[in-house]
Amino acid sequence: MITAEKMQEVLDFKDEPLTANDRCDSCSAAAKVRVHMKASNLELIFCGHHMKEKQEALSSVAYFNPDWNTELQ
């Protein structure tokens, strides 16, 4: 069961900016988006290329900013 604290933590994830030290979990390129899995405490970060590749599959099992691509400007 997800606690209220955990749910708030998931909802607050957008407030955690990525830094130059954050690297894509798939290829080690600069990270562009942070992804939180709904069923666990797992957090993934992806570059733009890998997020585009995985976005459809992740949309039902993870939380991420749906506007991540427009924020890359």
DSSP state of 30: B
Arithmetic mean of pLDDT, 49-64: 91
What does the alpha-carbon distance between residue 28 and residue 36 come to, in Å, rounded to a whole number?
A: 18
Domain that holds residue 35: 4-64
Read off the tokens for 63: 């939380």
Q: Which residue has the tokens 């997020």?
A: 51
Total domains present in the chain: 1
Q: What is the pLDDT of residues 29-46, one digit of tens each?
A: 999 988 988 888 788 999
Give pTM, 2 decimals: 0.71
Handedness of CA 66, 3, 43, 8 (dihedral sign): positive
Read off the tokens for 68: 């991540």
- Within 10 Å of residue 2's Cβ, how many Cβ atoms? 10
